[in-house]
């Protein structure tokens, strides 16, 4: 660190970057933990690692030119993909909970795929869905962190490094946190986790699309919590409705 800056400037920069990056890293961690628990850790961690590698390559290649890429375009594009991904996942979780999609068949298909991939060698536990979901969320939140570092670091000469250190500290803390909580998460029933992943991806997707098209969310990032609760409520209400609807349709055919 440039000693001429002094801790009076570097300290607040590190703290600001750390706290802002921590929020983004925790958001990514929530999704990565849920996806990893459901679809396997290898795919989830590979997706996150690949996104971090791509981000680092972009940062190294473009540097300050990154500030010229409109963030709302990234938010809109990734948010749309997350929404397509999340609502598709949530729809299947609802139908599964309503007993309209047999869970057992999916497990069999998943086992077959895993066995087939194991026969190909070296790809144990690999899952493209986990890879794609974690790549997207890490890429999006990581892009946010890059922008935070650039914005906080732009406060004065030589502040980019302290800002980077703050973000790195947040990332390290979140990785440690992830390792600590991933085992207790494994005891949660699989279908419940799939439900949660669907809700998470849908809520994050909606939030990022909103940000991308310039909507103002009440409470800024706290709106994600509201979206999570609202999507969860909709999904929970839809499960019994689906069961009833399937029963009514069946009875109509029999008459």
Partner 1 sequence: MKREDFMQWFRVIFREIVGLFVDDGSLAIAIIVWLGIVWLLLPRLGVFSRWNGLILFAGLGCILVENTLRCARRSGYTESGK
Residues that bind partner 1 (CB under 8 A): 76, 80-81, 83-85, 87-88, 90-92, 94-95, 98, 100, 128-129, 132, 202, 206, 209-210, 213-218, 223, 227, 230-231, 234-235, 238, 241-243, 245-254
Q: Which is nearer to partner 1, 51 or 163 (CB)?
A: 51
Token digits of residue 7: 């801790």
- Shortest reach from residue 133's CB to partner 1, in Å: 9
Long-range interactions of 176-184: CB distance < 8 A, separation 24+: 177/26, 177/29, 178/29, 178/32, 178/33, 181/33, 182/33, 182/36, 182/37, 182/41
- Shortest reach from residue 204's CB to partner 1, in Å: 12
- Shortest reach from residue 250's CB to partner 1, in Å: 4
Q: Are 193 and 38 in contact (CB under 8 A)?
A: yes
- Shortest reach from residue 203's CB to partner 1, in Å: 9
Q: How far apart are CA 203 and CA 224, in angstroms?
A: 6
Burial class (CB in 10 A: 0-12, 13-18, 19+), 150: middle
Q: Which is nearer to partner 1, 94 or 160 (CB)?
A: 94
Q: Which is nearer to partner 1, 152 or 227 (CB)?
A: 227
Q: Which of 100, 69, 109, 79 is nearest to 214 (CA)?
A: 79
Q: How far apart are CA 98 and CA 157, in angstroms?
A: 59
- Shortest reach from residue 92's CB to partner 1, in Å: 7
Q: How far apart are CA 232 and CA 242, in angstroms?
A: 15
Q: Which is nearer to partner 1, 65 or 251 (CB)?
A: 251
- Shortest reach from residue 254's CB to partner 1, in Å: 6
Q: Which of 209, 207, 206 is nearest to 72 (CA)?
A: 209
Q: Which is nearer to partner 1, 119 or 254 (CB)?
A: 254
Q: Which is nearer to partner 1, 145 or 203 (CB)?
A: 203
Instruction: Give how far the C-alpha of residue 183 lies from the chain's centroid of Cα atoms, to the nearest Å.
Output: 19
- Measured at the CA of 63, the angle between CA 57 and CA 65, to 5 degrees, comes to 120
Q: Which is nearer to partner 1, 33 or 130 (CB)?
A: 130
- Shortest reach from residue 1's CB to partner 1, in Å: 41
Q: Are 14 and 169 in contact (CB under 8 A)?
A: yes
């Amino acid at each position: 660190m440039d000693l001429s800056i002094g801790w009076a400037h570097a300290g607040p920069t590190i703290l600001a970057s750390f706290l802002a990056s921590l929020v983004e890293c925790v958001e990514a961690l929530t999704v990565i933990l849920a996806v990893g628990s459901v679809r396997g850790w290898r795919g989830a961690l590979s997706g996150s690692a690949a996104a971090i590698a791509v981000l680092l390559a972009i940062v190294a290649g473009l540097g300050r030119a990154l500030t010229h890429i409109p963030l709302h375009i990234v938010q809109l594009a990734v948010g749309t993909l997350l929404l397509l991904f999340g609502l598709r996942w949530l729809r299947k979780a609802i139908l599964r909970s309503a007993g309209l999609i047999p869970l057992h068949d999916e497990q069999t298909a998943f086992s077959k795929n895993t066995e087939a991939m194991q026969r190909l060698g070296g790809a144990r536990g690999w899952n493209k869905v986990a890879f794609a979901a974690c790549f997207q969320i890490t890429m999006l939140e990581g892009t946010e962190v890059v922008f935070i570092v650039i914005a906080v670091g732009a406060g004065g000469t030589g502040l980019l490094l302290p800002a980077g250190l703050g973000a790195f500290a947040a990332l390290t803390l979140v990785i440690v946190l992830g390792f600590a909580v991933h085992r207790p998460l494994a005891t949660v029933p699989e279908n419940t986790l799939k439900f949660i992943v669907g809700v998470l991806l849908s809520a994050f997707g909606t939030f990022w699309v909103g940000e991308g098209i310039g909507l103002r969310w009440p409470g800024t990032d706290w709106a994600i919590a509201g979206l999570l609760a609202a999507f969860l409520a909709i999904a929970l209400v839809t499960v019994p409705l689906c069961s009833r609807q399937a029963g009514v349709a069946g009875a109509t055919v029999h008459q």
